[in-house]
Amino acid sequence: MDVFDGLMHGFAVALTAGNLLWALVGVTLGTAVGVLPGIGPALTVALLMPLTAKLEPIGAFIMFGGIYYGAMYGSSTTSILLNTPGENSSVVTAIEGNQMAKRGRGAAALATAAIGSFVAGTLATFALALFAPSVVTLALKFGPADYFALMVLAFTTVAAVLGTSLLRGLASLFLGIAIGLVGIDMQTGQARMALDIPYLLDGIEVVILAVGLFAVGETLFVVSRQKLLADQIIPIKGQIWMTKDEWRRSWKPWLRGSVIGFPFGALPAGGAEIPTFLSYSLERRLSKNPEEFGKGAIEGVAGPEATNNSAVTGVLVPLLTLGLPTSATAAIMLAAFQQYGLHPGPLLFQSNPDLVWGLIASLYIGNVMLLVLNLPLAGVWVRLLAIPRPYLYAGILVFAGLGVYSLHASVFDLGTLCLFGVLGYVMRCAEIPVSPAILGLILGPMAEQQFRRALAISQGDPTVFLTRPISATILTIALIALVAPPLVEYYRSRRRRCVFDQASS
Amino acid sequence: MIGETERDAEPRLSQKKVSATVISVALVAFGLFVAHQGYLIGQDQSSYARVGPQVFPYMVGAGLVIVGVLLSIDALKGTWPVMWAETADEHALSRPAYWRQLSNVGLVALGLVVNAFLIAPLGFVVSSTLMFALTTRAFGSRRIPFDLAVGAMFSGFIFLCFTYALGLPLPSGTIWGAR
């Protein structure tokens, strides 16, 4: 099926009344939950997962697509009006957007974010439809060794990119992989790390870890610092719509952002954080009035927001074609796929074209819905920000307990949730990023399977990873990603020390 | 006054160091545990697969040990501060305000445990309401009856939505008789 046929087929699936309704529900709920401070996109998707339990897979994934986009959009609203970015890729939006809001242009910041997300989302979805089939063709040539190399690359970039310290990122990643070892080994049927507890034989669900680390850990962290974190909501005032000048200054950053974001998302290179920073510095360099940056330049919202949306759409390329999640949110989406017994990868395009193309088509539709919904409803979302902190976090915990309990109606799951909550609190206090752990949990078992498969094919010869050109190349890139930043830092600090010595002597 | 601040600043730093060191030691210990679990599976895997189920635990365990050891250097150098709670008063560590913050963390955790234990016997609405009120209390709310009412309405609404609109029944509590 070529791209055009696929898309047409997808629209035929997505434009039925039922699926349109699910897309609308997904977009609305995603935005509403994503707006709440302290809830990022990954947690939004994890918390709303039980709602889809009774749906057909296609309806469920169309709703998920809506939740995914809605959550992204919702968290950018929060960062503009509250200056609390829900995720790393909204950090830049928070800088400029919050300054704009303080100058009374909050509405314009929200508008440029919404329209920029729409433009970027639409272009990136088109790119997704265009590129996915060729990636599938490529992916069919991949052997187990190549898949393993890809996963190693995803591991290293995630650990190196997310958070402040490579070591702490790796600690989080290894924790996640270790948790993924719990349960019955898929190839030999032996129990591992189960400590003779029957409950542990089934392994540990990604959703429990995600909700524990993000929702419960975050709540415990916030309560330990509550007096320090008094934030102010900036009311929307002034002219609601963007001025002509603001339009003129926005449209180029939207397009540039769309172009920057997509490849970063599509490569297994750690998601949307780096491209948003790239877009921000690019816009600052290209701007006629760079002195405005840091004080509320609209380009600094338009560019990074478009980039972010384009990158999160790009993330769906490796997720759908290779089954490879490259962000915490994508990891939870993958867990959702697995719950339906679906295994994303090149074969999914052949075995479930309805689902894949329906999902892609519904991303277009979701983008339109988001635009229609968010421009007039921004005021409603703002009111959600005004929920007092005690009720907000109490509500988050009730929802977290509900989400986890509804998986299997198991009290053990709730106990595990408590433990992971404490773990999340410790990690937050120690500034260990939590996203690598979530990716480690879902990717670890997959990586192990490919690793062992590759060695079984090569009859135990470990050089297989280095003799296949694809895997050798990918592993080299992974090594560079791991080693280069500390080396650069080392030389830079040495040079600084030399300069300092000369200056002092 | 200055003297007092300095005396406070010293234990603060060492306390942060101790916390960070404890975390890195815990990572090393967990790594050894993971490797030991791999060892327990045994080496007698003469299967055609060549690589048995014990290899990945060894690799992951080794990774955790190495990262833990390297992190302990950061911890001892003091470049990796770990704070369990912070208060508006900069020098309040090991003072009552600090412990009050930590006890609030404990209160939220208690709410979670209460919910886990009571959801089956007392049902979703009751256990969630208790957790809700404990959390609002930890976040500084003093209106306990009001918070209980809000929690009951919130969880009751969710209960009705899930049971009747979504067809996902939540536990209604075994001690109330009806199932």
Nearest CA to CA, how far is A170 from chain B (Å)?
A: 7
Nearest CA to CA, how far is A387 from chain B (Å)?
A: 12
User: What gap in Å lies between CA A425 and CA A439, rounded to an integer?
Assistant: 18
Nearest by Cα to A398 from B86, B124, B83: B124
Query: A348: domain range?
Result: 3-352+362-504
Using an 8 Å Cβ cutoff, are A397 and B111 in contact? yes
Q: Do A402 and B116 touch (CB under 8 A)?
A: no
Interface of A with B in 164-183 (CB under 8 A): 165, 167-168, 170-171, 174-175, 177-178, 181
Place of tokens 């180029």: A252
Residue ranges per structural domain of chain B: 2-77, 96-165
Q: Which amino acid is at B151?
A: G
CB-based contacts of A236: which residues, under 8 Å, 6+ apart?
A81, A101, A106, A107, A110, A378, A379, A382
Q: Do B51 and A451 touch (CB under 8 A)?
A: yes
Chains A, B: CB contacts within 8 A come to: 201
Whether residue A367 has pLDDT greater than 60: yes
What pTM value is reported for the model?
A: 0.86
Least confident among A65-69, A383-387, B93-97: B93-97
Q: Do A54 and B166 touch (CB under 8 A)?
A: yes
Could you write out the DSSP letters of every residue in A93-153?
HHHHHHHHHHTT-HHHHHHHHHHHHHHHHHHHHHHHHHHHHHHHHHHTT--HHHHHHHHHH
Query: pLDDT digit string (tens) for A98-142?
Result: 888 888 788 888 888 888 888 998 899 889 888 888 888 888 888
- A63 CB within 8 Å of a chain B CB: no
pLDDT band at B118 (very low <50, low <70, confident <90, very high): very high
Whether residue B106 has pLDDT greater than 90: yes
Q: Please state the rounded mean pLDDT for residues B138-160.
A: 91
Residue A151: inside a domain: yes
The secondary structure of A323-376, three-state, reads CCCCCHHHHHHHHHHHHCCCCCCHHHHHHCHHHHHHHHHHHHHHHHHHHHHHHH
Q: What local confidence, expressed as pLDDT, does residue A85 receive?
A: 62
User: What gap in Å lies between CA A304 and CA A140, rounded to an integer?
Assistant: 34
User: What gap in Å lies between CA A382 and CA A106, rounded to an integer?
Assistant: 11
Whether residue A316 has pLDDT greater than 80: yes
Q: Please state the rounded mean pLDDT for residues A280-300.
A: 82
Q: Do A460 and B51 touch (CB under 8 A)?
A: yes
Residue of A nearest to B84 (CA): A429
- A230 CB within 8 Å of a chain B CB: no
Q: What local confidence, expressed as pLDDT, does residue A69 receive?
A: 86
Q: Do B51 and A391 touch (CB under 8 A)?
A: no
In three-state secondary structure terms, A191 is strand
CB-based contacts of A159: which residues, under 8 Å, 6+ apart?
A166, A169, A170, A172, A173, A436
Q: Do A54 and B168 touch (CB under 8 A)?
A: yes
Q: Do A175 and B30 touch (CB under 8 A)?
A: yes
Say how many domains are in chain A.
1
User: What gap in Å lies between CA B146 and CA B178, rounded to an integer?
Assistant: 28
Nearest CA to CA, how far is A209 from chain B (Å)?
A: 15
**Residues of chain B found within 8 Å of residue A185, distances taken between Cβ atoms:** 53
Could you write out the DSSP letters of every residue in A276-320?
HHHHHHHHHHH-S-GGGTTS--THHHHHHHHHHHHHHHHTHHHHH
Residue A68: inside a domain: yes
Q: What local confidence, expressed as pLDDT, does residue A176 receive?
A: 95
Residue A357: inside a domain: no
Q: Do B86 and A187 touch (CB under 8 A)?
A: no
Whether residue B47 has pLDDT greater than 60: no
**Residues of chain B found within 8 Å of residue A393, distances taken between Cβ atoms:** 135, 139
Whether residue A497 has pLDDT greater than 70: no
Q: Do B34 and A406 touch (CB under 8 A)?
A: no
User: What gap in Å lies between CA B158 and CA B144, rounded to an integer?
Assistant: 21
Specify the higher pLDDT residue, B33 or A102.
Answer: B33
pLDDT over 70 percentage in chain B = 81
